[in-house]
Amino acid sequence: MSNNFHLTAPPMGWNSWNTFYDQVSEDLIRSTADAIVDKGLAKAGYEYVIMDDCWSQKTRDENGRLVPDPVKFPNGMKAVADYVHSRGLKLGIYSCCGLHTCAGYPGSFEHEFEDAKQFAEWGIDYLKYDNCYHPATLSSEMLYRRMNLALRSSGRDIVLAACQWGRDEVHQWIRSTGAQTFRSTIDIQDAWKSIEQIALSQLEKQQYGGAGCYNDMDILVVGMHGKGLNPETSIGGCNDTEYQTHFALWAMMNSPLIIGCDVRNMDDATRAILTNPDLIAINQDPECRSCHKLSTYGSPDAFILVKQLSGGDMAVGFFNFGDNNAHVELHFWDMGLPLASGYGLDFHNCLTGEELGVQRESFAQKVEPHGCRVYRCRLTEV
């Protein structure tokens, strides 16, 4: 019985859906696992290699079991799990709480306990569990409870990543189902508007995520640059400034960090964004506090996020969602730090690694359109 599974930080990994769509295969998973290790992503914290939809045959076998597509997975699923584990990584798979997955493959409805056992036998470590094609008479809340119990009785620690798209006020009940993460929005697209819309929709809901059950703002589009087989995701592409802002938002807002680009062929800028150690440390901070948002005087499209970190530091993010440069000004009293306290803040720039020294009372920066600045600040006597 595996019933003691607690994720101590938002999961980090890679998922096949954004770039490879229905073309998930053993070759892809092996070569991606190799790239995750060889290009330093594993060292940066990325751990789960997740197969999304379209990995199975279109029907179950005569015993009601799910069967990996023999062309895509000629050696079965255990061989894939063994390989991924041999590289020091974990393997994720995908199913759905309905009769079919969103792409029309068999779902786990009324097969929850046998599928969970099957996943455990294969050596699966993470299940992304979707929300398509379930009977209207049964709530997805009930169906996520079922899969939670199925996984916890499967004999293996398997993360339950609920993919419920933010429907039915999922943030209010998901924590009680036992799931470790919950998708809170519709599918992301490789476009600035999509990033902006997802981030804004979750700013007021951050307190529902956090330790033990993380708010999954969807797979990262960092580094896709409009490429990929998924016609719904790969629609335009962003520039590196926008990808940097996207990553900083997901990091500060405690989202799982699940890469969606082809890491085998990523460019240096993408690699640098995805492996930024200061942003990853903010995301993986053990206390996992939600941010609070501050407005900045005179720049309506810009805002500041402040996150208390363990050990006493604070993460401070300046974000400009506008199409013009913004003057972003942080007054320390808005964070609870009046001048009379005798303290200032020592600023470390998380994007450049620069030390900016101790600032008193306030700190201001110009931020380019769709850009950001992120600082790690230490309380310092002045």
Cβ 345 vs Cβ 335: under 8 Å: no
Out of 41, 50, 102, 217, point to the residue binding ligand GLA (CB under 6 A): 102
Size of the site for ligand GLA (CB under 6 A): 10
Q: Which is nearer to ligand GLA, 79 or 103 (CB)?
A: 103
- Determine which one of 125, 130, 218, 262 is catalytic: 130
How far is CA 133 from its chain centroid?
24
Q: How far apart are CA 235 and CA 222, in angstroms?
A: 13
Q: Which is nearer to ligand GLA, 102 or 330 (CB)?
A: 102
Tokens representing residue 177 in the block:
């189902």
Out of 13, 51, 52, 154, point to the residue binding ligand GLA (CB under 6 A): 52
- CB-CB neighbours of 297 under 10 Å: 12
Dihedral sign of CA atoms 181, 1, 115, 84 in order: positive
Out of 103, 235, 358, 379, point to the residue binding ligand GLA (CB under 6 A): 103
DSSP single-letter state for residue 111: -
Q: Which of residues 147-176 bind ligand GLA (CB under 6 A)?
A: 163, 165
17 touches ligand GLA by CB under 6 A? yes
258 touches ligand GLA by CB under 6 A? no
| Contact track, ligand GLA, 176-215, x by CB under 6 A | -----------x----------------------------
Stretch that binds ligand GLA, among 43-51, 101-109, 112-120, 243-251 (CB under 6 A): 101-109
Cβ 275 vs Cβ 41: under 8 Å: yes
Nearest Cα to Cα of residue 170 among 213, 132, 116, 115: 213
Q: How far apart are CA 207 and CA 349, in angstroms?
A: 26
Identify the helix (H) or strand (E) that includes residue 377: strand 372-381
130 touches ligand GLA by CB under 6 A? yes
CB neighbour list of residue 38: distance below 8 Å, 6 or more residues apart: none
Q: Which is nearer to ligand GLA, 103 or 294 (CB)?
A: 103
- Determine which one of 187, 240, 301, 346 is catalytic: 187
53 touches ligand GLA by CB under 6 A? yes
Q: How far is the CB of 337 from ligand GLA (least distance, A)?
A: 40
Q: Are strands 257-259 and 292-295 parallel, antiparallel or unpaired?
A: unpaired
Q: Which is nearer to ligand GLA, 107 or 209 (CB)?
A: 107
Q: How far is the CB of 53 from ligand GLA (least distance, A)?
A: 3
Q: How far is the CB of 15 from ligand GLA (least distance, A)?
A: 8
Token pair 């000004």: residue: 329
The reply to whether 190 belongs to the active site is: no
Q: Are strands 314-320 and 372-381 parallel, antiparallel or unpaired?
A: antiparallel
- State the catalytic residues: 130, 187
Chain residues that interact with ligand GLA, rule: CB under 6 A: 17, 52-53, 101-103, 130, 163, 165, 187
